[in-house]
Amino acid sequence: MTDNPAWTIREAGAEDASALALIGAATFLETFAGILDGEAIVGHCAAQHTEAAYRTYLAAGARAWIAEAQPGGAPIGFALVGKPDLAAALEGDIELKRIYSLSRFHGSGLGAALMKQAREAARGHRRLLLGVYAQNERALAFYRKQGFADLGTRQFNVGGKFYDDLVLARPLGT
């Protein structure tokens, strides 16, 4: 468990699926409201950020870490890694499927702490991959600071509308 006066991080299990869904939808809306189409955001969150979706990820072998505000334990962020679902993936790769935190916790070290958990879980893999909205400059700066480099592009479906994503990779070594 990672500790900070404002938050703690612990590995999440199936019993945390509803909290993962809540923070996933909240942070997706917070990040993209006013940037992406509103109906597309609502549709995306209704399909992708559900308790059932996170239970499915975890049942398929994905691992997640949840950040909780202290005191109180309210969910404020998480990271999720699992089997890659990216065309650029090669044998030995793993994907950082989600790394989200509420914006008021940006700059607190939470993102770096969640990324550390993801990197540790990815140990033994060749590369850690992720997809990120091509116009999300804050996220891109964070990922590049964490050692990620451009690998390619993809189209990402958000509620039936397609947006340009960058696919990034970070070598992990052995």
Q: Residue 13: what pLDDT? A: 98
- On average, the pLDDT of the chain sits at 95
Q: Does the pLDDT at position 1 exceed 70?
A: no
Strands (E), the chain: 2-4, 7-12, 63-69, 75-82, 93-101, 127-133, 149-158, 161-171
> What pLDDT band is residue 5 in, cutting at 50, 70 and 90?
confident
Question: pTM score, two decimals?
Answer: 0.93
Mean pLDDT of 3-31: 94
> What pLDDT band is residue 173 in, cutting at 50, 70 and 90?
confident
Look at residue 43 and give its three-state secondary structure.
helix
User: Length of the chain, please?
Assistant: 174
CA distances from 75 to 25, 87, 149, 165, 169 (A): 12, 32, 30, 27, 27
